[in-house]
């Protein structure tokens, strides 16, 4: 019977519980027990157990420990706490959507063939460089999306201030958010304008120019255009009615 020792000082998590759960998800019954507060012992009876351990550990690193590494990366960014709290969940979401394994199970197997012990943070930072690079990209993308959203919201705020100072030009317009992503704008003289799905900003500009007293929105998109409805409510405060 072979024994392998797994430890961590950087990750505040019950590794034994997580590893047992990952093993159980695949129907494996490898014996896992705590050796100290920071170290656990794994008893292996066969090569099949070794394969199961490496597969479960790979999932643990990529799906559980990745959260700690992503949080560490986000924490280093020159952002406010509120901004970091917005970036981290999106970075985690993007890291999981790729479904990449980076050959981690294979690298773990090679490690255990040479060594009896594994330190999780050491393995992640020295043997999982591809995964770290991918997580950094996810953080960068999430940060960029958050900053762009903040810029957009600030623009909507400024537009709202501008609109509030302008006299209304027409009584009412209706805007239909179609199921296919397109938009149909109709004024009070029944003039219709069709917009492609990527013309959201053009719609807001057109409405600012029309300066209607009321805007009735018919959302047939199944909630896909919630951000547009929110933007209209911000720019044309008190003038927008939304029907779903």
pLDDT at 146: 94
Reported as a pLDDT band with limits 50, 70 and 90, residue 11 is: very high
Rounded to an integer, what distance in angstroms lies between the CA atom of residue 29 and that of residue 52? 9
- Report, at the CATH architecture level, how domain 166-243 is classified: 2-Layer Sandwich (3.30)
Are 162 and 154 spatial neighbours (Cβ–Cβ below 8 Å)?
no
User: Over pLDDT 70: what percentage of the chain?
Assistant: 100
Q: Where are the domains of the chain?
A: 2-152, 166-243
Mean pLDDT of 79-87: 94
What residue ranges in 103-156 does DSSP mark as E strands? 117-119
pLDDT at 126: 93
CA torsion sign, 129 to 134 to 138 to 141? positive
pLDDT at 114: 93
**Over 90: is that where the pLDDT of 78 sits?**
yes
Reduced to 3 states (helix: H, G, I; strand: E, B; else coil), residue 44 is strand
The pTM of the full predicted model, rounded to 2 decimals, is 0.76
**Over 90: is that where the pLDDT of 227 sits?**
no
**Over 80: is that where the pLDDT of 27 sits?**
no
If you average pLDDT over every residue of the chain, what do you get? 89
pLDDT at 163: 85
Mean pLDDT of 83-107: 91
In this predicted model, what pLDDT tens digit does every residue of 117-176 receive, in sequence order? 999 999 999 999 999 999 999 999 999 999 998 888 888 888 888 888 888 888 899 999
pLDDT at 54: 93
**Over 90: is that where the pLDDT of 229 sits?**
no
pLDDT at 149: 87
Compute the residue count for the chain: 244
In this predicted model, what pLDDT tens digit does every residue of 40-76 receive, in sequence order? 898 888 888 899 999 999 999 999 999 999 999 999 9
Rounded to an integer, what distance in angstroms lies between the CA atom of residue 204 and that of residue 200? 7
């Amino acid at each position: 019977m072979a024994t392998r020792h797994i430890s961590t000082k950087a990750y505040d998590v019950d590794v034994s519980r997580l590893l047992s759960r990952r093993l159980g998800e695949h129907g494996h019954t490898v014996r896992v027990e705590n050796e100290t507060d920071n170290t656990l012992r794994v008893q292996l009876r066969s090569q099949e157990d070794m394969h199961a351990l490496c597969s479960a550990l790979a999932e643990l690193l990529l799906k559980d420990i990745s959260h700690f590494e992503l949080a560490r990366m986000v924490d280093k960014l020159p952002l406010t706490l509120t901004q970091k709290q917005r970036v981290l969940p999106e970075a985690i979401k993007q890291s999981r959507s790729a479904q990449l394994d980076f050959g981690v199970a294979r690298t773990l197997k090679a490690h255990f063939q040479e060594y009896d012990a594994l330190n999780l943070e050491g393995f992640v930072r020295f043997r999982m460089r591809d995964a770290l690079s991918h997580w950094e990209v996810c953080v960068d993308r999430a940060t960029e999306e958050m900053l762009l959203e903040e810029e957009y919201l600030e623009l909507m705020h400024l537009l709202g201030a501008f609109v509030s100072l302008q006299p209304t030009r027409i009584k009412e317009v209706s805007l239909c958010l179609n199921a296919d992503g397109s938009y149909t704008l109709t004024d009070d003289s029944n003039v219709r304008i069709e917009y492609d799905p990527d013309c959201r900003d053009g719609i807001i500009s057109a409405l600012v120019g029309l300066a209607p007293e009321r805007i009735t929105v018919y959302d047939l998109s199944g909630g896909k255009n919630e951000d547009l409805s929110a933007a209209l409510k911000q720019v044309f405060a008190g003038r927008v009615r939304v029907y779903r």
